[in-house]
Amino acid sequence: MSIYYDQHLHTHHSFDSEEHFENYLNKTDNTLVTTEHLDFYNPADEFKDSLPDFITYNQEINELEEKYNRNILRGIEVGYVPSQHDVITEFVEKSPYDLILLSTHQNGKIDFMDPIVRTMEKKRLVTEYYEQMILSVENMTQANILTHFDYGMRQLDISAEEYQQLAEPLLIELFKKVIDKKLAVELNAKSFVKYNNQHLYDYAIPLYISLGGQLFTLGSDAHVAEDYELGFKEMGQLLKNHDIKELAIFNKQKMSLVTF
């Protein structure tokens, strides 16, 4: 029987990690997949194009699969910006990824984790952020998982009540599109644990379920091996509290469900 495994990991093939595959392989006997960053004109990387080199990435994985006698999946985390749609889809389509994460990190001018967002009026930030995320779900047809829906809220001191007041109509539209596109929704440990946003998940996950959403993944968003499966117990319990008993996994971008 298949076992759930962490589906949001980064290695030295991402601009913001120096981690090596071997350290993840030594943490688990389960299937390993890494999801390397793709962000064109990336404000978090001095406006460079943060692009994984699939040829080098794939070659290293092939060598590790032979050395460890293990199956390693190829993944990518797409930082979607609507104005970059053509270059993003062209990049993704030319390589055989097993798993595609869909993220909203930046808008071509600022990263939504930049402290400057603290100076923005909250309603404006929430509106701009979720309108862009809605467009990403509409347009990025290759995606499998919508990651950290709260990424743009990480710099804010915002209660669940205020978040609901500002974001609920946009979240309803977003989740309806996610359900229509058959994307899974990620519970992200970096948000849940490190940025103390569990209260936003406590609010948003039941909202998604109330709209008919049933597809979930857990992702540590690890950039170092010690964070592998970070927060899985706590995030898994939240789902079990809402009678969710299965999680989605992807191989060759085909989904299957496993108990957890």
Q: Which of 102, 101, 99 is nearest to 33 (CA)?
A: 99
Q: What is the pLDDT of residue 140?
A: 97
Domains in the chain, ordered, with CATH?
21-259 (3.20.20.140)
User: What is the tens place of the pLDDT at every residue in 72-125?
Assistant: 999 999 999 999 999 999 999 999 999 999 999 999 999 999 999 999 999 999
User: What is the tens place of the pLDDT at every residue in 115-136?
Assistant: 999 999 999 999 999 999 999 9
Two tokens, residue 85: 């749609």
Instruction: Give the position of tokens 């809220």.
Output: 153
Q: CB of 147 within 8 A of CB of 187?
A: no
Instruction: Provide the mean pLDDT of the chain.
Output: 97
Q: CB of 166 within 8 A of CB of 122?
A: yes
Average pLDDT over residues 16-44: 97
Average pLDDT over residues 190-213: 98
Taking the alpha carbons at both ends of the chain, their separation in whole angstroms is: 11
Report the predicted TM-score, pTM, of the whole model to 2 decimal places: 0.98
Cβ contacts of 167 within 8 Å, gap of 6 or more:
126, 130
Q: What is the pLDDT of residue 106?
A: 98
Average pLDDT over residues 225-241: 98
Q: What is the pLDDT of residue 166?
A: 98
